Amino acid sequence: MSACDSRLAVVGAAADEVAALIPDGVTVVRNERFDDGMGGSFAAGLRAVDADASAALVMLVDLPDVSSAVVQRVVAFARAAGDLPDLLCRAAFDGVPGHPVVLGRHHLEPAAGAATGDSGAREYLAGRAVRLVECGDLAAGRDVDRPS
C-alpha cells in the first residue's frame, strides 16, 4: 500500500518504453516538452494532480537509496503538521534538504509556473518556510545521474 492516495509518473523521452515499465495503479503523465528540461516534467506532474488533493509529494527517480521508509516518514510528518494545503516540507539528509518534497495544494500552481529548464521547485522553495524532516538515519539521499 502506498503512503499516498494516488500516484503519478511523468515520462518524456522514450515515453512509450518508459510507460511500459510503470506499475499498475500509477497514472502516467506524458510531458511532450521534455526537451525543455526537468522543470517541464515537474510542472506537468503538478498540473496533473487531482483537483481535490490537499498536497502533492514529489519524488525523483534517481535516488536509489531513498526507500519507502523515507517517503512514509515525510508523509506522516506532513499529515501530522496540520494545514496541509499551505504546507511545504521535505526530507533532509544530515541536515541537507533533499527529496521527497511535499507541496501543499496552494503551492502547486505557483511552483509549476516557476519551474524552468533543469530547475523544478528549487527557485520556488528558496526563501520560503520549508519544514525539514530528518531522514539521514534512513538514507543518504544522493542523486545518481549515471549508471556507474
Domains of the chain: 7-134 (3.90.550.10)
pLDDT tens digits, 2-20: 578 899 999 988 889 999 9
For residue 130 the three cell numbers come to 520549508
pTM reported for the whole predicted model: 0.91
pLDDT tens digits, 77-136: 999 998 899 999 999 999 999 999 999 999 999 999 999 888 889 899 998 999 999 999
- Measuring CA to CA, how many Å separate 56 from each of 4, 19, 48, 136, 148? 9, 21, 10, 22, 31
